[in-house]
Structure 1
Amino acid sequence: MASKFQVLTLTEAAAGRVREIIENSDKDALGLRVGIKKGGCAGMEYDMSLVEEAKPGDDVIEDKGVRIYVDPSAVLFLLGTEMDHEVTKFRSGFVFRNPNEVSACGCGESVSLKAADADGFQPANAPG
């Protein structure tokens, strides 16, 4: 399914890490699924898994040579999000810069999100 909006963008670092995960997987992965699930002290957590087969209704994003699959129930919570991968002295992992984030817990593992107003977004192929 073609994306009407650019739900999620990836930095070069995130795309590189997604590519590594897919290439090093022992499965025949098509890409990475990004979604949200209930959990953590702030109420929601980002959820990621390898995709071996697309699900009906998936929003498929192709960015910087990798595919990201977004569950339809997560689209409004992820609209406008930039996915990055950061490496520091003490940790490495994906970081989501999400304009729909209301708050995050102190440990940074969970967030509180509001649904985006889809009327404020232009289709990805619309002239600027």
Structure 2
Amino acid sequence: MSGKTKTVGLKMDDGSYEVLPEGMAGSRENVSQIILPASIPWESDVQLYPAELEFAGSEERAMGGETIYDARHIGTVPNTGDEFYVEATFQEYPANDFQLVDGGATGPASFAHFAPDDLKSYMYAVL
């Protein structure tokens, strides 16, 4: 891990993995799941949580429609039963210009920051 780059993993329909760093554009086509990286205090290694991409809203803009998507993992703290969330927000604007716009976590979890190549290697190693 290095830097403060918010990067999520993308599991593709064919089972391969790609990454999407914040501020970079990619294609939503053939993405089957979002992989959310999180640091949690009861695990020594960063955890990767698969999450579904869910439609969150849209509006018309000058270059066509803007669509917002969310991906969220809800977990449970082992010794207290409290919930924590790891989540990411995406926009698609203009069409086929899919971008990560924010990532975060609540509770004892924190969004883990990865260099894109490091996250891709980590996904292949642990998933």
TM-score range, shorter chain: under 0.3
Give the TM-score, by structure 2 length: 0.25
Which has the larger helix fraction?
1
Which has the larger strand fraction?
2
Give the TM-score, by structure 1 length: 0.25
